[in-house]
A = this chain, B = another copy of it.
Amino acid sequence: MGEREKILGRVRDALGDARGTEVEVPRDYRRRLTEDVAAGRADVLALFTERLADHRATVRHVGGDELATTLAAALWGREAKEIIVPADLPYGWLAELDGVRALADSAMTDTATLRAVDGVVTGCAVAIAQTGTIVLDGGRAQGRRALTLVPAHHLCVVHADQVVGTVPEAVSRVDPYRPLTWISGPTATGALGPPRVTGMHGPRSLEVLVVED
């Protein structure tokens, strides 16, 4: 018997009767917000905003034509001098960035640069009202994972139609085969024991601009 067969044999023994048994996964979790909450888009956005605030994220609602100026003002307010963005970020978002230099991320950008900048600006794939979570899947305007995991400040633009009610709704909108980043407020860790400590790694502050058209 070869080494491979020996190992597989041991695996089979360990599994015993459990082998091949179909595990029933409970699916009775909530798939949608209760009807009265889901009734209006306004309620979903209000819930999202409330939950984001619970996570100590800054949230602002803006009209599409105010996005560029609000985004610039947010960065001026933080005295940001240099930010980084995914190369495919829509130019219009940054059109009013007077005095703030925006680097376009590329394969050549090293981690030292990501640490040195005053923040990163991205879009998102989908956002979840009930948990105040933003999900990135590396698609348009989102960039690679390191881009939003290293810089100390993350400014994220969320379009109102990207906000869904619940986690199952969000899961059905993203591609599960892509590397996903789920963001619920500034980075935090429970590894040091309770209480939960924020800002130990990655973005220590999260600012969200919700664009309503």
Chain B residues within 8 Å of A95, by CB = 87, 102-104
Q: Looking at A68, A90, A91, A92, which has the most chain B CB atoms within 10 Å of its CB? A: A91
Could you say how many copies of this chain the assembly holds? 2
Is A53 part of the binding interface, using a Cβ–Cβ cutoff of 8 Å? no
Q: Looking at A88, A94, A106, which has the most chain B CB atoms within 10 Å of its CB? A: A88
Closest beta carbon of chain B to A8's beta carbon, Å = 44
Is A65 part of the binding interface, using a Cβ–Cβ cutoff of 8 Å? yes
**Which of the residues B87, B92, B103, B108 comes within 8 Å of A104, measured between beta carbons?**
B92
Closest beta carbon of chain B to A212's beta carbon, Å = 16
For window 43-93 of chain A, which residues contact chain B by CB distance below 8 Å?
A: 65, 68, 85-93
Chain B residues within 8 Å of A86, by CB = 91-92
Query: What is the 8 Å Cβ interface bit string for chain A, positions 36-47, against chain B (1 contact, 0 not)?
Result: 000000000000
In angstroms, Cα B209 to Cα A81, docked, is: 31
Q: List 20 A-B contacts (CB under 8 A).
A: A65-B108, A68-B104, A85-B91, A86-B92, A87-B90, A87-B92, A88-B91, A88-B92, A89-B91, A90-B90, A91-B91, A91-B93, A91-B94, A91-B102, A91-B104, A92-B104, A92-B106, A95-B102, A95-B103, A95-B104
